[in-house]
């Protein structure tokens, strides 16, 4: 499981002082992007070199406990399904041992020019398959 630290900034919170619900999706995105980076792949290079982009196809999120301004959280990402042109991630936002938010995010790989499904480059897909 890949993890990435997330600090809650004032801009992440709502009028009640807790993290605005949509910002958890941003935290999930950061973890997935940093996971790709840790595997040696930058998303802009994937577009330039292979003509592929990753897009969110669907999201299922459960909000369990609130996070607040200035807390240090951890965002995790784990591939639970890897297919030819899609990935499914199980993700969590935690504060210590407390799980604050859980999500299942389905990602599609598309041709950057036509926006139609395209196979994930094999050298990227193989390490991701071993994540689950």
Q: CB atoms < 10 A from the CB of 109, how many?
A: 22
Exposure of 77 in the CB half-sphere (CA atoms within 13 A): 25
Which residues does the annotation mark as catalytic?
14
């Amino acid at each position: 499981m890949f993890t990435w630290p997330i600090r809650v900034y004032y801009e992440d919170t709502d009028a009640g002082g807790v993290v605005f619900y949509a910002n958890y999706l941003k935290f999930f995105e950061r973890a997935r992007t940093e996971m790709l980076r840790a595997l040696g792949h930058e998303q802009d290079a994937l577009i330039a070199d292979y003509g592929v982009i990753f897009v969110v196809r669907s999201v299922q999120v459960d909000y369990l406990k609130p996070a607040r301004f200035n807390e240090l959280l951890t965002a995790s990402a784990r591939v639970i399904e890897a297919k030819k042109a899609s990935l499914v991630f199980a993700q969590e936002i935690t504060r210590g041992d407390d799980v604050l938010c859980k999500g299942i995010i389905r990602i599609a790989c598309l041709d950057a020019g036509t926006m139609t499904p395209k196979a994930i480059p094999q050298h990227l897909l193989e390490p991701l398959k071993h994540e689950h």
